[in-house]
Amino acid sequence: MSRQWQTTHFDGLSNRQLYAALKLRQEVFAVEQNCVYVDNDDLDQEAIHILLWQDSSLLAYQRCLPPGLQEPESTLGRIVVAPGARGNNLGQELVRRGITHNLQRWPQSGIRIHAQAHLQQFYQALGFATEGDVYDLDGIPHLEMTLATSPA
């Protein structure tokens, strides 16, 4: 069983790949976290998508957004690891790949994320700093976190 990373624009995703990404996002963010929100927010079409596959199974996913689309900085979002693939440091590798991508593609822009508050230490260990207080986003406590243009 081989693992393969994929980084692509929206139009580079096959129908099956897009379906797998949307399914994983729904399984985790809507069902597992019991959160009702609109996942299809019209940002996917402008995003770079980073996916980790093991054969035909999607293990991890995130999207990278350019500066000015959602925030003044570039952003990482919809960061998710499949429940059966957790505990293998895939989340760290996924976020590191997103950081590298955004800083290489948009070197004059830092990165802003809207992190679930319980993941604050996870993101701090990757170089993000907390900005502001905890706020509610779709019923889940979140924090805004930023990473300067040169990660620690």
Give pLDDT tens digits for 88-140. 899 999 999 999 999 999 999 999 999 999 999 999 999 999 999 999 888 88
Contact 69, 46 (CB under 8 A): yes
- The answer to whether residue 126 is domain-embedded is yes
pTM of the model: 0.92
Give pLDDT tens digits for 9-67. 999 999 999 999 999 999 998 887 878 877 889 999 999 999 999 999 999 999 999 99
Contact 152, 126 (CB under 8 A): no
Please give the Cα distance from 22 to 45 (Å, whole number): 13
Supply the CATH number for residue 30's domain.
3.40.630.30
| DSSP strand pairing (74-81 vs 111-116) | parallel
Reported as a pLDDT band with limits 50, 70 and 90, residue 150 is low
Total domains, the chain? 1
- The answer to whether residue 79 is domain-embedded is yes
- The answer to whether residue 49 is domain-embedded is yes
Longest dimension (CA), the chain: 43
Structure tokens at 45: 């079409």
Please give the Cα distance from 50 to 73 (Å, whole number): 18
**Residue 39's domain spans which residues?**
3-147
- The answer to whether residue 46 is domain-embedded is yes
The residue-averaged pLDDT of 132-151 equals: 87
